[in-house]
Structure 1
Amino acid sequence: MTQLHLWLRHETRTTERRTPVVPSDARRLVESGVTLTVERSPQRIFPIEAYEEAGCRGAEAGSWVSAPPDAVVVGLKELPDEPSELVHRHVFFGHAYKGQPGAAGLLRRFVSGGGALLDLEYLVDDDGRRLAAFGYWAGYLGAALAVLHARGALRTPLEPTSKPQLEAELRASEGELSALVIGALGRSGRGARVALGEAGIEPTCWDLAETRDLDRKALLDHELVVNTVLTTRPIPPFLTDKDLDEPGRRLRMLSDVTVDVGSPMNVLPVYDTTTDWEQPVRRLRERPPLDLIAIDNLPSLLPREASTDFSAALLPPLLDFGHGGPWGRCLERFHQACRERGITDSEFRNV
């Protein structure tokens, strides 16, 4: 069997501080016989020296484009626009299977180059449960930022922090808030509930039972709402523009952790662009005021904690990288997405 070669790429987004593989887990991969090349990255929370000490090879940022054809390129967020043809197998969050803007173009780049997308969002076990996810920390930060903003304690632009520091800020902030977490029993919902608890808030918790026949009046009667629901099929939206204009609306702060903007699966089609670290909050309505937080890389604000947890979950699948199981399902989902969009090629690479 050919030795597995993983290539950990630098993230081009300047606010992306996370990594899918931390140095301690890189060492375990190397010790198991995996060749691991790590690109230098000025923003990654762990320095290149820590990877080199773990037995990894160093490489320049962006050099994955000329990596050996059998290397598997591992990252988190979007690829740069070039090259136009992607010849490698890539492991990252592609956001390309639910009709998102730019999805078809990305898939065509893979097909034209003979590569493949192994999307981390679809790396699941036999029961369909995600094997590695940042959901807990996304929910935690989505709720934490919303509370700090609602209490007038959010400092901008946002900067990476640590969990103890963020906890201290939440405990120091003051002000009564009625809060609702939608999707409260999932990973993200659990994180949101923990952050609200740190702020002294006991939220209303909704999950499947409450969203099947959603009470919009009850939703609008909360001052702060954190949405953590990610759906894979279209469902009735939780809020519409008309709802936001209802008289008597108490809702003042909406934090959308899922950030499925542009997708037909979006349950909050009341905004069309995300917010970011520079301007994390956007005003949706003036009378009465309603603010939005919709940041698509929230866990990068706690990069060390988020990376450590994610890497620990991703390590077992990487150690078992091969044709079948979770990676085989990832590849088939890629093929399916291409077929659904009429993007076909007989030369698909197999994992």
Structure 2
Amino acid sequence: MLVIGLIKEGKIPEDKRVALTPAQCRMLQSKVAGLKVIVQPCKNRCFSDDEYRKAGVEVNEDVSSCNLLLGIKEVPVQQLVPGKRYMFFSHTKKMQPHNQALMNAMVDKKITLIDYECLEHADGQRIIGFGFFAGIVGAHNGIYAYGNRTGAFSLCRVGECKTYKHLLNKYFGLKLPNVKIAVTGSGRVASGILEIMNLLGVIEVEKEDFLSRDFEYPAYVQLKGPDLYEHKVTRKYNRDDFHNNPRNYRCTFRQFLPHTDILMNGIYWDKNVPRLFEWSDMLLPDFRIQTIADITDDKEGSVPCNLGDSTIEFPVYGVDPISRQMVDPYQKDCVDVMAVGNLPNELPRDASRYFGQQLIKYVLEDVLQGTSPVLERATILKEGKLTPQYDYLHDYAYAPQANISR
């Protein structure tokens, strides 16, 4: 029998999302023999305890009978249940320093960790995630920030809308100025950004036109891997070679800096991938960007002036390119940055429903069968031990407790 526990989120700031909605739990319990769901009570979840109870789901603080625990964000060390199998976004695969204590604790407690981020098809394509709604909310916030900076229009906050459908109603009659927007990326985040571009009537244009002229209407260009990177020797782009050897490539985005008002960044980045631009570029007289929505949100990553997370309450901060310090937004000679780390939390019910649909469609059947290549590739820890494909995390995972601040 598979008993799934939906755990309450413990990370601060609180996250309202959940892996399965009440309706999805009801459907699973009625259609899948031998499956039961237990939900830990939580006051701040986007679906109330009563909604789960009305769907026929047990609400119980005790999840010791569960053999699979589903969360969203990192589980606080003190909430980890020893010996259990977990699925959540651990943010450890890149050896993130702030989550080393979590990884070390999971080793100590002999936990099995299946990371949502690592659920991939054989070719490396991500299977599930919240990227689409991150793109939706991030693009909206970027347009919101540009309106505040220029005074050309006014846009509400996403949190003022209960649902995505309600948000769409806010776009009726909204006319944007002749702004030029660069959208980077080709995955789920970029798909969400493009959804907002289309809903707001921003017209897609070719790269060559974007670089050579202005328009009598708001326009955007989508820049994918081949548009952003080239090999230092061959000046070509090969996706597999780029991901295996990113240091052999240079970024070509600088040519867009004099032609872009808003940057919507949805490109994947790690420490070996070249940045879109550097601090020195921001001091050039033809640096035109006024607003950056860094939706993938890597501090000092592909966008060097990402100085750290903003919050849902205060999503935008200013950056002084001379002092390289954070300042109040919308100031002259500064650039506004939107860098919220939990964007889908602004539309938690829609985002949870979308996530749960993917989880049911692509993952739960494998869980019911016991295992699969997909699950094996996503299992970072098995009973507290690193699996072979994640052995590169050895020093990170098995660091002495005395050296890690908890």
What fraction of aligned residue pairs are identical, expressed as a percent?
Answer: 24
Q: State the Cα deviation string for residues 11-49 of structure 1 (Å, max 9, x = none).
A: 234552221111222123323121211012222222223
Match of residue 244 from structure 1 = 282
Give 2:43's aligned residue: 42
Q: Which residue of 2 aligns with 1:319?
A: 365
**Aligned-partner residue type, residue 347 of structure 2:** L
In structure 2, the CA distance between the partners of 1:232 and 1:55, relative to structure 1 (3 Å rule), is farther
> Could you say which residue in structure 1 is the equivalent of 2:216?
none
- Output the amino acid matched with 2:285: P
Aligned to 2:225: 208
Offset at residue 106 of structure 1 (A): 1.6
Correspondence for 1:341: 394
Q: Tell me how far apart the structure 1 counterparts of residues 350 and 160 of structure 2 sit (CA, whole Å).
A: 15
Closer, same or farther in 2 for the Cα pair 1:72/1:85, shift >3 Å? closer
Distance, in Å, in 1 between the alignment partners of 2:161 and 2:73 is 17
Q: Write the distance in 2 (CA, Å) between the matches of 1:56 and 1:86.
A: 24
Structure 1 residue corresponding to 2:352, chosen from 307, 310, 313:
307
CA distance in 2, matches of 1:235, 1:194: 27
| 1:138 and 2:134 are equivalent in the alignment | yes
Q: Distance in 2 between matches of 1:39 and 1:223?
A: 46
- Alpha-carbon separation, structure 2, partners of 1:268 and 1:86: 39
| Deviation (angstroms), 1:270 | 2.1
| Residues 85, 109 of structure 1: 8 Å contact kept | no
Structure 2 residue aligned with 1:186: 187
Letter in 2 for 1:27: R
Q: CA deviation at 1:174?
A: 3.9
Q: Is the 8 A contact 1:24 1:54 kept in 2?
A: yes
Q: Which of 85, 88, 92 does residue 89 from structure 1 map onto?
A: 85
Q: Structure 2: how far apart are the matches of 1:154 and 1:87?
A: 48
Whether the 8 Å contact between 1:227 and 1:255 is mirrored in structure 2 is yes
- Equivalents in 2 of 1:172, 1:300: separation in Å? 26
Code of the residue aligned with 1:20 in structure 2: it is: A
- 2: CA distance, partners of 1:318 / 1:45: 22
Shifted more, 318-327 versus 156-165: the winner is 156-165
Q: Which residue is 1:55 aligned to?
A: 56
> What is the aligned counterpart of 1:283 among 308, 318, 324?
318
Q: Is the 8 A contact 1:140 1:191 kept in 2?
A: yes
Q: Stretches of 4+ moved more than 4 A in 1?
A: 83-86, 154-160
- Whole-angstrom CA distance in 1 between matches of 2:121 and 2:353: 21
Deviations along 1:207-265, one digit per CA (max 9) or x if unpaired, are 01111142313135211111111246721111222222222221011001111227xxx
Q: Which has the larger radius of gyration?
A: 2
Unaligned runs of 5+ in 1: 346-351
Q: What is the SS of the residue equivalent to 1:124? A: coil
Structure 2 partner of 1:30: 29
1:239–1:270 CA contact under 8 A, matched in 2: no
CA shift in 2, pair 1:10/1:220, >3 Å:
farther
Which runs of 5 or more structure 2 residues have no equivalent in the other structure?
Answer: 149-153, 204-219, 231-251, 321-330, 400-406
Question: C-alpha distance in 2, partners of 1:158/1:283?
Answer: 21
TM-score by length of 2: 0.75
Cα gap change, 1:318 to 1:84, in 2 (>3 Å): closer
Partner of 1:128: 124
Alpha-carbon spacing, 1:233–1:98, altered in 2? closer, same or farther (3 Å): same
* SS of residue in 1 equivalent to 2:97: coil
CA distance in 2, matches of 1:94, 1:328: 16
What is the number of residues matched between the two proteins? 334
- Mapped to 2, the partners of 1:157 and 1:144 lie a distance apart of 8
**Residue by residue, what CA displacement relative to the aligned partner does 1:169-216 show, whole Å, maximum 9, x if unpaired?**
334444412111001x32211210110222222211100111114231
SS at match of 2:124: coil
The one of 8, 11, 17 aligned to 1:10: 8
CA distance in 2, matches of 1:251, 1:149: 13
Task: Map Cα deviations across residues 132-159 of structure 1 (whole Å, 9 max, x no partner).
Answer: 1111111111111111221123556945
